[in-house]
Each structure stands twice: as C-alpha cells, then as structure tokens.
Structure 1
C-alpha cells in the first residue's frame, strides 16, 4: 500500500513538473489562446460527428452560414469545397503547413468552407465568428492563411499559354472574314486574349485618410475620390473567360497596361504570329494590342472595326462581372493594408479559374464595361499602323463578302 502511494505521488509530481514546464513560461494571452485551441478542437470533433449524419450537398453560391448551433457542415460535402480542398492538399507549392504555437487551426476542409463563405458573402469577422463558434482573431488568421495558400498556386492556375496550348485558344478576329470566298483560314487574324481592367474599392489607408481630412470639402466639391481608395486589377482572359494574366496595383500606381507591355517587350513571341490581344479604349494601341478608335470622328469603316472588337471585349466584361458576382467581398474590401487586400483579390482570381475548370459558372445580374471617359492610352506608330491595317482588312473583306 505504501509502495503504491509512493508511485502515485511520484507520478503526480512528474505530471506537475511537465505542466509547469509547459505552461508557466506562457503569458496570460498565450494561455488563453491554448485554452481556445482546446475548446475549438473539442467543438470541431463534435461538429464532425454531426456532419457524418448529413449528406445533402450545397453549391458554392448557396453556402449558408450556420446558426450558432448546430453547425451544418454538410456544406463541406459541396463539390467546390471538396475540389479546392484536394487541390490545396495535393499541391506541390512551398507553402508552410506548420501550426502556429498556441493558436487553434481548423482542418483544411473547414478552412476552405469558412474562407469561401467570407469571400462569397460580405460578412464581418464578428458575424462569422459567432456562427462558426470560433474566436474572432482566429477567423482573421485562418482566412489570410487560406489566401496565402491559394496565392502560392498562382503560377499553376493563372498561366500564359504557349505552344500548342496557345494555338488552341485562338479565335478569329471576325467570323465574317472566314466566310469570304477565296480567303485562306490561315490568313484570318486571330485573337489570343482580351485585355481589360476593373477597380476594386478598398478602405483608404489611415495615413492617407488623415492627410485627406482637410481636403474633404474640396473633394466633395470636385466629386473626386482618392486614387488609393481602390486597387487596379488588370486582366487578360481567353475566349472562355479564363484569366491568363493578372496584375494588381494601387489606384495611384503606373500607366495602364504597363505590366503587360513590359511582358510583351521581354518576350516578342508571347502572342502567336498572326494573333493579337484586344483591349479597351483606355489601353495603348501597340503592334500586338488592337484597341478601338476614339468615338469622336468615327466613320463607317472605323465603326465597323469598333463593333468587331466590342464582341470580344464583351467576353472580358462578362468574366469580370462573373468574378464579382461569385465573390461579393470584392465589392468593397474593408481593409487599408494594400498587401492583404491584394492577396484577397488574387485569391478570388485564382479561384475563378479553378471553378471554371470545374464547370461551375454564375450568371451576373449586370455586365458593365468600365471605360468611362478615359482617353486613349499613348501607343506607338506600329500600333496605329496595325489598327489601320486591321480596319482596312475588315472593310475590304466584308465588302467582298457582301458583293
């Protein structure tokens, strides 16, 4: 009996020493985090058991936020959630999967579900925290770790096609040219991609808010908005609306199309021979970028050319509208940190391609062309000559076809 008591006392002391060694060096904040982690792991285990009894799938656009209880993790059975989970799990990116000390982390499927909920609906962290029964700070950390992980897939999901892949996505500049008798199909100019841009509103950084306060009334009078209250999102998509190029910059940064112009300068063969990019009026006309004529002073020849380009520009407009219809958070990013805002926008663009690959599409309520009153971008002589040549070709060939 005495021996048994000694063993119990010895074991108790050993356990006490281990607990003191593990917990005493921690601050009160770290202790709270570890307690949160333990509680969340218990809740998650319970919710997983509840989920096993529910099998009804829910599509991405119908993901419903759970009430406080019970947590309907049957949404995890959604095809999009499963597909993105498998994509992240099987990716060979260099993203670190290490667990942060003292912080709770959801399983990957739960992380994907929570993050898609935040992206697809404009909800506060507080609201999601209450309904997912997770600490608010953890919601923030989980969401941005998801964005970081998805961003690591950029080179895999937003690719500039080359070789046979590039040839497969080419479409005729005008179907009318292919119907003209005696015209070889190989002679018909092709469209490689459509170039465009959109703005993503964000919260103005604190420093710039303070600077602008004294000019508030003046800005109201001029109806101007500080340029850094949005992000510029420059995109190139193919004929199916899949993004081939994505560049995100501050509202006050650089000239339109500069990133892509540099890319074409460094790689003259980036666009296949006989093919072009079609862009809006605010982009510069270049040798490989066809842009519309300014509206003022257009004759029948120029108007016909502009209509031809407009049919292609509609594809990019619809892709942008679909992006914003799928991810409502892009309507306004309530964050003044540029890098984090950029990570969220890039995440949405990558997932746009992933969901298109799955065959998931959404129908936007409205499609808008974001040209406004902007003037034509500063092009070069090669670009102007190419535009004239394409307008002449369309005019000449369509006249032949109608005669």
Structure 2
C-alpha cells in the first residue's frame, strides 16, 4: 500500500512475543473503552445531564471513543495476533478513517470544552447564552472539520497506508510529494497545534496522549526515519485515550464521581437484606412504600452527604416512584457567574464577606470535609451558601434542596453544621461587651450625633414570629396577637450588637425579659458610672441605664430636649433590628415549634449580622422599614433609682 512518493524503509523486526503483547493490550483496551463510554452515556441519560447543553461535549467524546473501541480496536488487535494486516486495502482505509476521525473529534472537542469553560468562568452570565443551538453548531463544526480531514486522503490529498509492523493504518506521514507534505503540515497545524494552544492549560491528558504521536509524525514528515519498534509506542498510546477518557470524567466531573457510588456503596447488611421483602407491609394497592425496602447509601448529588436511595429490585421497580429530579451545578457553575450585586442580593451579604466568613469556618473541626460512611461530605463553601440561603429567605427545605441539587436531609445537616460552628466558634468573637477603651470610643461616636454624653449602647427588644408551640403555646402570644420569641439586644452606633439575649415568650414584658438577663445582673459592673446604655420607657431607670422622662403633659423644655436626643440616639437599635430582619428574612417567621432551635437560628443570625457590620457590608438596601415603623406600644414602668434620676437630670441640664 505504498507508492513511489513514499520512501521504503527497512524496519527492525518485531518478535512474536511483542506481537502477542500488543494484541493482548489492544484486546484488553477495547472492552475497557466500551464499558467506560457506555457507562458515561448511561449516567448522562439517567442523571438527565442532557438538560445542560455543555454536557453534550462529553457525549460527543463518548460516542466517538465508543465507535473507535467497537470498530477500530478489534481490527488492530486481530492483525496483531496475525502478525500482519489481513483486512485488505479497504479494511486499512476503513480503520484509518475511523481512527483518524475519532482522533480529530477528540482533539477538537477538548479545545471546544476549554473555550466554553473559559467563557463561562470569565464572562459574567455567559452560561445563560450557552443554548442547545450554540452547542449543536459547535458539534456540527467539529464533525465537519474532522470529516474534511479524514475524507481528503480518500479523495487524493495524501492517502491511507499501513503503519510500521502492519498492525495499524494511518495517513502517509513520510510521503515526499507536495500533496503529502502539505497535507501533513497543515494537519499538524490545524488539528494539533491550534487546538493545543486553546486547551493546553485545561487538558493535560490531551498533550500527554497525542504529543508523542505528533512528534513522531513530525519527525517522519521531516524525512527522519525511526526504524526501531519504539515507533509503535506513540500510536498504541494514543489509542488508549478512548479508554481513559470516560474514567477521567468520573474522576473530574462531580456528577459522574458521585454517581459511581451507586454501584458499590451497599454494605454487606444491605446486600443480605435485599433478598428479604416484607410482603406483609405492602399496601393493598400493590404499591410498595420506600420504607418497606432495604436501603442502600447512594450519592444523589455532587455532594454525597445526601439521602439514602432505595434499592430498586427488578420485580418491584415499576411500583416505586422515580428519583426526584434535581438541579445540578448551581453552586459549582452558576454562583461563580453572579455579579457582586447579584451575589449579595441572593445570599444577603457581599462576596467579600462570604469569603471572609468561609475563611473563619473552613478550619473549624465541625466543617472539615470528611467522609461519612464512605461518602464524601459537601464542601464547606456549599454548606455555608446553603445556610445563608436558608437564613436569607423563607423558602421551604424542599425548595432549597431543589436549588442546590441536594436532598432535604442534606440541607438540614448543612444548616446544622454551619449554625453549630458559628455559635461555638464565632459567637464569642463577634458578640462581646466592649472593653474600657472601646466604651470610650463608642461614647464619643454617639456624642458626635447630638451631644448626648456617655452612651455605651442602645437597648431594646423585638419580637420574632414563630409557629405556636404545642406546649404552653398561649404563653408565647404577644400583645399583637401572634406567637413570638423576645429578642433583647444592645448595639453600638454602627448597629453592631454587643449583647444579645433571646428565648423568652412573646407575652413577657420587656422589663421582665431584661430582669432575667445577665445584663441586669452584671450591668453595674459592666458599665462604669461615667457611661450608660439608653432605652425606652419600658425599662427601669438606673445609673447605668437611662430612660426618657415620662410625658405627663408637663415636661420642661430641658426634659423634652433630653427625650428627643435620647430617642434620636436610641433609634440605632431599631435600625439594627430592621437590618437583622431585612437581611435574614427567615426571622420574619420561624416555622419551628422547637424553641431551642428557634433560639439557635436567632443567635446565628445575630452573629452573622455582626460579621457583616465588622466587614463594612452595605446595609441600606436590607433595612426593613416596616420594622422601624412598627410600634408595639410597650407600657412604661415606674422604677426609677435615685442615682439614675440624678444622673438623668444632670445630663438634661447640660444638653445644648
């Protein structure tokens, strides 16, 4: 199968053992490649990956590699065992056409994947424009370009011929005619070098597989003849790509990586139980309840800390509901594309604050990514984003699970991990009483507003609406008629909380909540005499806690000015509550009857509120104005300590 334009080369002989070894290699490679690529196609269909257009590139690679493994690899294995090409000229041309078309498709598809991934990562919202038409057009272009190069040798521009040792066929790399050389050099340029420049950084395996072959081809095209059997190695190594490609998908693609456990994660007990069906528990309508079947731990998402799936026995498969569809890739593919404004709107804090929060929590033992029963836990970042979405919206657990592509139980576990980590490791760092130097700075900042001296913080309470508890539910009904928990807090002039106390029923008066808090017990020690916190008339007057004069219609000008100045400074705590509820909208209604869990949600939100304030996160667009406007008309009390009265009168006289 050579002509005068190809130089006759005396190749070194290949012994029988080498032919057999090559045949064994190829005959092993073929079924491995068939299995891997069929598995890729199966997972693609089973997991509905076709709904994401970019995944069609993976299908394209799998189809091309499967074709090569079904047709070309068995042909070369047969000739290796025969020690000669026994499939005639037509067989050689068919083999070379299939192999070369698969190779071109493989290389160009990698380049296309690199291009689209770069566009998706680097260009905001580009993923929204990656539609089926764009991907289909790219695939058509890839195949058209591949067919153009593989048909050319059949039409006279170069030709297909046997490669060394009569095992494989390819284009004539060593031809000396202008047509042969032009084809070879242009092919190397457009089918290898140009795609390589696109995909080098992403697809290292592409370079690892095809570079030896390209080097050998370049050497041959340059007229340098390699007569050693080593010349076979690049060709044989290149064939391996159709086998390892699918396994690269399983190692690098989260969905494939998690899906593989579905075949291997059943424990011995599961396997033993799978043969025992409790028919007495089958419902009369012949539908089997999922709880009646043995269970098998299966990863249903990129993060495998999700719910166990049922083992679907063949006899009962039709009676079981199909796995609930999920949205995949939200955190991995969509969130990185959000603009900073969109990220903040979605997760209720800035991307920078999220990164800082992640850095705090990533080293926390509870958040360490660790296997659980052979399964890989969700990443800390996905845990945190899931929790932020939970706290920032009123979405149900099912809706959050659907958005993040995980199970409802995974949402709950992620939320609990993050909240426990925050309360254990961050609460004491971000909600703490100021030291003397800080008290002085806080007082100066308040005084700059209107001259009111010595303010160490503003105190008030707010109601967090909850579902009515089953035990003593009526005691949680507040004066507005809905069940709630009391949240009492002190904040600085910048709305950062310095003290938080919560958990008392909504029916309790603010003063009663205050008297049961550690602030009441330790206030005199916490606040030196030159400082004081300010509150409304619902609280008692003390030397360290100043309240307004009771308006009986006969207040003096000094007293009215004092009340106005105090009220103006005290508004900061109402704004802080409005920001807290506006940023973390879950606090508008806690649909849980477990009081201790509601308290954890409230406290976690307060810590995160302070994290945002500390990192100068914008606040104005999150402040919930109706919270500021709400007036619960807390009845005032007559509890005035003499020292408190004296201090209040002195400040009133000195205000300008």
* CA offset digits 1:128-157 (Å, max 9, x no partner): 112222111221222122111111121111
- Per the alignment, do residues 107 and 22 of structure 1 end up closer, same or farther by CA in structure 2, a change over 3 Å counting? farther
Structure 2 partner of 1:379: 639
Q: 1:34-183 counterparts in 2 under 5 A?
A: 34-36=297-299, 40-41=303-304, 50=333, 54=337, 56-58=339-341, 61-63=344-346, 78-90=351-363, 95=366, 97=368, 100-101=372-373, 105-152=377-424, 153-171=426-444
Q: 1:315-334 counterparts in 2 under 5 A?
A: 315-334=572-591
- Per the alignment, do residues 333 and 265 of structure 1 end up closer, same or farther by CA in structure 2, a change over 3 Å counting? closer
- Per the alignment, do residues 35 and 60 of structure 1 end up closer, same or farther by CA in structure 2, a change over 3 Å counting? same
Residue 225 of structure 1 pairs with residue 481 of structure 2: yes
Structure 1 partner of 2:501: 247
Residue 390 of structure 1 pairs with residue 648 of structure 2: yes
Alignment partner of 1:349 out of 606, 614, 625: 606
- The runs of 5 or more residues in structure 1 that have no matched partner are 1-15, 65-74, 179-187, 213-218
**Helix, strand or coil for the counterpart of 2:503?**
strand
Structure 1 partner of 2:488: 234
- Per the alignment, do residues 129 and 96 of structure 1 end up closer, same or farther by CA in structure 2, a change over 3 Å counting? closer
Spell out structure 1 runs of 4+ moving beyond 6 A. Answer: 16-19, 25-31, 42-49
Q: What is the deviation of 1:89?
A: 1.8
In 2: Cα distance, 1:231 partner to 1:280 partner: 19
In 1: Cα distance, 2:265 partner to 2:546 partner: 71
**Helix, strand or coil for the counterpart of 1:36?**
coil
* CA offset digits 1:158-181 (Å, max 9, x no partner): 010113222222237756996xxx
Q: Which moved more, 1:35-44 or 1:200-209?
A: 35-44
Q: What is the deviation of 1:277?
A: 0.5
- Per the alignment, do residues 18 and 58 of structure 1 end up closer, same or farther by CA in structure 2, a change over 3 Å counting? closer
- The runs of 5 or more residues in structure 2 that have no matched partner are 1-262, 275-289, 306-325
Residue 295 of structure 1 pairs with residue 554 of structure 2: no
- Per the alignment, do residues 139 and 19 of structure 1 end up closer, same or farther by CA in structure 2, a change over 3 Å counting? closer
TM-score by length of 1: 0.73
**Helix, strand or coil for the counterpart of 2:524?**
coil
Q: What is the deviation of 1:224?
A: 6.5
Q: What is the deviation of 1:225?
A: 3.0
* CA offset digits 1:347-385 (Å, max 9, x no partner): 110000001111112222415266533222453523xx4
Q: What is the deviation of 1:109?
A: 0.6
- Per the alignment, do residues 104 and 201 of structure 1 end up closer, same or farther by CA in structure 2, a change over 3 Å counting? farther
* CA offset digits 1:210-249 (Å, max 9, x no partner): x89xxxxxx9xx98636xx211000000111110000012
Q: What is the deviation of 1:389?
A: 3.7
- Per the alignment, do residues 311 and 83 of structure 1 end up closer, same or farther by CA in structure 2, a change over 3 Å counting? same
- Per the alignment, do residues 139 and 45 of structure 1 end up closer, same or farther by CA in structure 2, a change over 3 Å counting? closer
**Helix, strand or coil for the counterpart of 2:298?**
helix
**Helix, strand or coil for the counterpart of 1:171?**
helix
Residue 192 of structure 1 pairs with residue 456 of structure 2: yes
**Helix, strand or coil for the counterpart of 2:527?**
coil
Q: Is contact 1:172-1:190 (8 Å) kept?
A: no
Please give the root-mean-square deviation of Cα atoms over the aligned residues, in Å: 3.9
- Per the alignment, do residues 39 and 113 of structure 1 end up closer, same or farther by CA in structure 2, a change over 3 Å counting? closer
In 2: Cα distance, 1:32 partner to 1:298 partner: 76
In 2: Cα distance, 1:175 partner to 1:351 partner: 27
Structure 2 partner of 1:274: 530
* CA offset digits 1:304-333 (Å, max 9, x no partner): 221111011111111111111111111111
In 1: Cα distance, 2:520 partner to 2:612 partner: 28
TM-score by length of 2: 0.47
In 1: Cα distance, 2:336 partner to 2:646 partner: 66
Q: What is the deviation of 1:201?
A: 0.3
**Helix, strand or coil for the counterpart of 2:463?**
strand
Q: Is contact 1:37-1:102 (8 Å) kept?
A: no
Structure 1 partner of 2:215: none
Larger Rg: 2
Q: Which moved more, 1:158-167 or 1:247-256?
A: 247-256
**Helix, strand or coil for the counterpart of 2:468?**
coil
In 1: Cα distance, 2:350 partner to 2:633 partner: 46
**Helix, strand or coil for the counterpart of 1:296?**
coil
Number of residue pairs matched by the alignment: 348
Q: Is contact 1:59-1:79 (8 Å) kept?
A: no
Structure with more of its chain in helix, by fraction: 2
- Per the alignment, do residues 282 and 101 of structure 1 end up closer, same or farther by CA in structure 2, a change over 3 Å counting? farther
Q: What is the deviation of 1:206?
A: 2.6
Structure 1 partner of 2:181: none
